[in-house]
Homo-oligomer: A and B are copies of this chain.
């Protein structure tokens, strides 16, 4: 059994990007600049955004954090989005989700210019991804693909079962893994809340990607020996004995399932860190594109 060490690989990727940034500086070029928009004070969002900004610093990117109060109106947020679209200094930016309930998320994501949409959430970028054109691929599915590629996991002709049809994980990874190319060419089944006999499916799977958000959903008796297990679930479970008052757990009953798996991602330290690395890679791509089109 091999641990798919997302922390290690994401550090490798960050180091690779840092080298590129250093040579950009040497050539006297502008370095990539990522902006992040955060509305409100959701704990997990603060953690994610903070981590993204720290990663930018570490690899030599410029970064700007726009932290707006919870009572920001949709109109005010859209004004900032338009400003970021126009700002030639910003190569890419993200609007951290979830947004407060009085703001229409879809409206905001549609307003982000596709050329700066390093989260890959805009329909134009999602469509390009689905049609196998060059684009910004959402960081989480992109991170899973990169993890499979770096560990040279054989996916060709394998049966992959994806659990969960969310627009940010299940849907895009089901598309990417069934396309032509590396870490792809799998026969993909997309399972979701209406799926009957999920166990019957997972027992056939050579690869399982669980993106459900239900702690310990995937048990050892649902997995065949030698399967590749990708755990995208990240749930905070309250626990007074922990310093932070909670611990993080995935969809997979790691202890039991890891004994049967050929490869498995831990939580934390698996898919999570890959997400940030791929966001940075998208920002680097955005900078390259802007330089070429300047």
Residues of chain B within 8 A (CB-CB) of A201 are 187
User: Within the assembled complex, what's the spacing in Å between the Cα atoms of A194 and B159?
Assistant: 11
User: Within the assembled complex, what's the spacing in Å between the Cα atoms of A244 and B127?
Assistant: 39
Q: Which A residues, 189 to 242, have Cβ-Cβ distances below 8 Å to chain B?
A: 189-192, 194-196, 201
Q: Is A69 an interface residue (CB 8 A)?
A: no
Residues of chain B within 8 A (CB-CB) of A178 are 165, 174, 190, 192
User: Within the assembled complex, what's the spacing in Å between the Cα atoms of A201 and B160?
Assistant: 13
Instruction: Give A76-116 as 1s and 0s: 1 = Cβ < 8 Å from B's Cβ atoms.
Output: 00000000000000000000000000000010000000000
Tally chain A residues at the interface, Cβ within 8 Å: 34
Instruction: Give A101-140 as 1s and 0s: 1 = Cβ < 8 Å from B's Cβ atoms.
Output: 0000010000000000000001111111111110000000
Residues of chain B within 8 A (CB-CB) of A165 are 178-179
Q: Is A157 an interface residue (CB 8 A)?
A: yes
Q: How far is the CB of A197 from chain B (nearest CB, A)?
A: 9
Q: Is A167 an interface residue (CB 8 A)?
A: yes
Residues of chain B within 8 A (CB-CB) of A195 are 157, 187
- CB-based contact B189/A188 at 8 Å: yes
User: Within the assembled complex, what's the spacing in Å between the Cα atoms of A131 and B121?
Assistant: 9
Q: Which residue in B106, B122, B133, B190 is a CB contact (below 8 Å) of A188?
A: B190
Q: How far is the CB of A48 from chain B (nearest CB, A)?
A: 22
- CB-based contact B167/A171 at 8 Å: no
User: Within the assembled complex, what's the spacing in Å between the Cα atoms of A189 and B187?
Assistant: 7
Q: Is A175 an interface residue (CB 8 A)?
A: yes
Residues of chain B within 8 A (CB-CB) of A187 are 189-192, 194-196, 201
User: Within the assembled complex, what's the spacing in Å between the Cα atoms of A157 and B201?
Assistant: 13
Q: How far is the CB of A227 from chain B (nearest CB, A)?
A: 16
Q: How far is the CB of A154 from chain B (nearest CB, A)?
A: 12
Residues of chain B within 8 A (CB-CB) of A55 are none
Q: How far is the CB of A207 from chain B (nearest CB, A)?
A: 13
